[in-house]
Structure 1
Amino acid sequence: MSTDNSPLFELTLIGAACLGRAARRTANLVTRAYNHHLSPLGIEITQFTILCTIALGRAKSASELADMVGVERSTLARNLDRLVASGLVVAEKGDGRRITHRLTERGLDLVADALPLWRNAQNDLLSRLPTDKDEAIREDFKLLRRAARGSLADAG
């Protein structure tokens, strides 16, 4: 029989209550759903969000772009390499030593072609949620990100 201090109890608790595990499982499933919808164009949701963020033109550096997209810098670099090699993005010299990125005509066309597929993915997921729950979910994600940032700031 397990006590509250036993390793088995701790492992069960992690499986049931760990926010990191729940977030990872959710992110993987949601990513797979979007990727399924975007697959006819040969891109994944991470690449699509990078392209959309570049199109907005707000990132003044690759680090800012990574933060805006919500990926690690190494993940961004790998994806940017693919997008540049595919002729969808070009890298340009920014302020100082910074490198910025912009979409090529081909990249703009791909985003335009992907938008209806993204909308289908978005609507598909929303249709499977209770009515008007999407805003509450986004707010909960914001709270979780804020808590994680606070934890990292306290650790640093």
Structure 2
Amino acid sequence: MTDLEAIGKTCFALHARMTARLLSRTYEAALRPLGLKLPQFGILGAIGHGTTASETVLAERLGLERTTLVRNLKVLTQNGWIEPISDKGRGLRHRLTPAGQALLEAAIPLWQQAQSQLENRLMDVEGDEARRAMRALRKASYPP
């Protein structure tokens, strides 16, 4: 019989999923007063940063399934926070509206507060060390 306890203690995927859910709850709670979800904050940030990539490229950069990105883009558009811009070819790109820019500016301090709270709770692990470990796991997870 397989040692299921050992698998539970060592499985990167299991630990990453548990960690991601808890981290998401922390950031979601911080952004909730603005009616903003964490993936939407990431999308607004990428668009606000000047990422004018196609939806497919934007999804890859943000680590989102394309369907998840498209669903969130629809919500952001319906709320008047982003608008599509015409592009050569078939790709669709977006830009922040003034309301989207204002929302992003209001969300950043809330994100910073959640980020600081997590950094302070890390205890024996440096924030940069934790981020390096997560990047290494992402890199190791890409197909060869």
Task: Give the TM-score taking structure 1 as reference length.
Answer: 0.86
* Pairing 1:120-131 to 2, within 5 Å after superposition: 120-130=113-123
**Kept in 2: contact 1:61–1:99 (CA 8 A):** yes
CA shift digits 1:96-134 (9 cap, x unpaired): 111101111110000011111111111111111137711
134 and 37 in structure 1: CA distance in 2 versus 1, 3 angstrom threshold = same
Partner of residue 58, structure 1: 51
The residue number in structure 2 matching 1:3 is none
Structure 2 equivalent of residue 143 of structure 1: 136
Rounded to whole Å, the distance in 1 between the matches of 2:67 and 2:141 is 20
Say how many residue pairs are matched: 144
Deviates more, 1:80-89 or 1:60-69: 60-69
Q: Paired residue for 1:109, among 102, 107, 110? A: 102
The whole-number CA distance in structure 2 between the counterparts of 1:59 and 1:128 is 35
- Runs of 4 or more, structure 1, over 3 Å off, are none
SS of the residue 1:29 aligns to: helix
Distance 1:65 1:143 in 2: 21
2:133 maps to 1:118: no
| Aligned residues of 1:60 and 1:94 also touching (Cα < 8 A) | no
Paired letter, 1:100: R
Deviation for aligned residue 1:48:
0.5
The answer (yes or no) to whether the contact 2:54–2:93 under 8 Å persists in 1 is: yes
Matched, 1:28 2:21: yes
Seq. identity, %: 38
TM-score, reference length from structure 2: 0.93
- The CA deviation string for residues 13-53 of structure 1, in whole angstroms up to 9 with x for no partner, is 33221111111110000000000111110111111011000
Structure 2, unaligned runs of 5 or more = none
Q: Which has the higher contact order (CA 8 A, sep 6+)?
A: 2
C-alpha RMSD of the superposition: 1.4
